Amino acid sequence: MTDTGTMRVLAIDTATDSVVTGVATITGEDVTVLAARSVADHRRHAELLTTLIGEVLEESGVGRTELAAVVVGCGPGPFTGLRVGLATAAAFADALGLPAYGVCSLDAIAAQVRGDRPSVGSVAVISDARRREVYWARYENGTRVAGPQVAAPAAVTGEVAGVDVAAGSPAHIEAVGLTVDEQVPSVPTVFGLATAAVPAIAAGEVPESLVPLYLRRPDAVERQRPATAVPR
């Protein structure tokens, strides 16, 4: 934190197919993005993230020692991609002695929508959960009122009916019966991530341990050992 009350934060998200990172300043409730990267490549999250972090720090002119916190999207998202962002954020924060604030990645998308359109009342955020399912949440006047949850699109249609704006994955927005607006974000943004963390940062909260929002068990599970026969 500087004398003017401005905090510089590093934002990270790998909850979707895109690797998102950037540097932003937070002054009170105002967020300003200094540098940002978003690269869609679900196969190279780990490979891309460290390089992109270096790029945004250089572009923003913010040194590692000038950062006051790390903000990271905790999902919901697929196991493999999500853990890349969380592990990187935790390691980066630990190495520099910084607090790491975890935020719901759907909240970050909704926060970007509200930042772009302050007058919008209701927002639904829909993202790809694979297995023919979606992650979803509903917001009223900037507050999450339902979700995050995972469900089949047909089960979500009634939950998000009538919203003013739908954001997130276009194909999955259509799958739940909503209209796609190309002007809204499809993945978390640096602005949205930082904005979602503002309440906790402004309150001076000590962040809890980073916990991923998988919402269901990972595909790969440890094989159970066969029961051992009890000798007679």
Over pLDDT 70: what percentage of the chain? 91
Kindly report the pTM of this predicted structure.
Answer: 0.90
Given pLDDT bands bounded at 50, 70 and 90, which one contains residue 217?
low
pLDDT at residue 202, rounded to an integer: 87
Given pLDDT bands bounded at 50, 70 and 90, which one contains residue 31?
very high
Radius of gyration of the chain (CA): 19
Tokens representing residue 113 in the block: 């929508």
pLDDT of 182 higher than 70: yes
Q: Which domains does the chain have, with CATH numbers?
A: 6-105+188-202 (3.30.420.40), 110-175 (3.30.420.200)
Q: How far apart are CA 178 and CA 89, in angstroms?
A: 34
Quickly list H helices, the chain: 45-60, 79-96, 105-116, 153-160, 170-175, 190-202
Q: How far apart are CA 202 and CA 210, in angstroms?
A: 19
